[in-house]
Amino acid sequence: MGKAFSKPTVLNDTMTHYCPGCTHGIVHRLVAEAIDELGLQERTVGVAPVGCAVLAYNYFDCDFQEAAHGRAPAMATGIKRVRPDLIVFTYQGDGDLASIGMGEIIHAANRGEKFTTIFINNAIYGMTGGQMAPTTLPGQRATTAPMGRDTDATGMPIKMSNLLGGLVTPAYVTRQAVLKPQQINKTKKAIKQAFQYQVENKCFSFVEVISTCPTNWGLTPVDSLKWAEENLLPYYELGDIKTPE
């Protein structure tokens, strides 16, 4: 019998800087498994965001570039256009992707850039200490929305996958979550599918992952999973929004 469980080769054997109970670690592992299973390590270039995952390259054993805040899709475009043989992915938070980097992600998706984006939606700015994100829920507290998000003043949370799925250019756009084991398995499948589409040079591929930020939500890791399940999932429905077929 083969080994039932082992660390993906592309994942480094090291402690992460993520807070206890943060789901960034789970998603890292899923990305690493997909890269391993598709045999892509040697030709992969990751693009790190500015956000809690800025140091993602400490955990992945493959080439990496570090973007400025929000600009990862433009950087990935530059890499992929001049070296289409490389496998390129960006890994971005909701402040990075849905706020400051909104222009870059929409245009990369609309051009049908053949790279993969992993979008961590934890409905808050993690790295800078819990400010409101474009994905923060109505009434959800943040340091810059101490009374809860006021949608009269700040609009409704942006559903990035729906927005990108609405573009006419073919793409793979899916929203998944990592709050429960079954969801994790599905997210894994989606991430692998996203890389597979890239390998086939088929389309832009985008996996939104509903995640947690226990530290800035002010909840325990377990309560965070519960809060996300009860509050984020009704608004951010899971499932494929668009497939290239």
> Of these, 8, 46, 73, 95, which contacts ligand TPP (CB under 6 A)?
95
Q: Are 143 and 235 in contact (CB under 8 A)?
A: no
Q: Are 137 and 213 in contact (CB under 8 A)?
A: no
Min dist CB 101 to other proteins, Å, is: 10
Choose the stretch contacting ligand SF4; rule: CB under 6 A; options: 18-26, 65-73, 82-90, 167-175: 18-26
Min dist CB 20 to other proteins, Å, is: 21
Pick the closer one to ligand SF4 by CB: 28 or 114: 28
**In terms of Cα–Cα distance, which of 231, 244, 239 is closest to 116?**
244
Chosen from ligand TPP, ligand SF4, other proteins, none, partner binding at 48 (C-beta under 5 to 8 Å by type): other proteins
Min dist CB 147 to other proteins, Å, is: 33
Q: Are 160 and 120 in contact (CB under 8 A)?
A: no
Pick the closer one to ligand TPP by CB: 136 or 183: 136
Pick the closer one to ligand SF4 by CB: 19 or 38: 19
Task: Tell me the helices (H) and strands (E) count for the chain, helix number first.
Answer: 10, 7
Site for ligand SF4 in 31-90 (CB under 6 A): 52
**In terms of Cα–Cα distance, which of 194, 205, 5 is closest to 108?**
205
> Of these, 128, 144, 196, 243, which contacts ligand TPP (CB under 6 A)?
128
Query: Token pair for residue 33?
Result: 């498994």
Q: Evaluate the CA torsion angle 11, 160, 149, 209 in order and state its sign.
A: negative
